[in-house]
Amino acid sequence: MRLLFDQGTPVPLRRYLVGHSVDTAADRGWSDLDNGDLIERAEEDGYEVLITTDQNLRHQQNLSGSDRMEV
């Protein structure tokens, strides 16, 4: 499974996700993308899960169209 860590997600967490492909927004050069653009780009690139520490993301974004990726 492909996972993407948003800014603020502790990178050492990736070592516990054995068997998964884990990248960070910074790894991908996406640090400057707003949440909506980040979600769209991640979906386009085949990420299945976005892990974020942003507790308000569900209230800031319309995630109803995000049927390929779990946020």
- What pLDDT does residue 65 have? 55
Question: Domain spans of the chain?
Answer: 2-60
Taking the CA atoms of 38, 56, 59 and 9 in sequence, report the sign of the dihedral they define: positive
Amino acid (one-letter) located at 57: L
- What pLDDT does residue 70 have? 55
Q: Which of 58, 49, 59 is nearest to 23 (CA)?
A: 49
- What pLDDT does residue 52 have? 85
- What pLDDT does residue 59 have? 47
The span from the CA of 7 to the CA of 9, in Å, is 6
* Region 1-10 average pLDDT: 93
pTM of this structure: 0.78
Q: In this predicted model, what pLDDT tens digit does every residue of 20-71 receive, in sequence order? A: 999 999 999 999 998 788 888 998 999 999 888 876 555 454 455 555 555 5
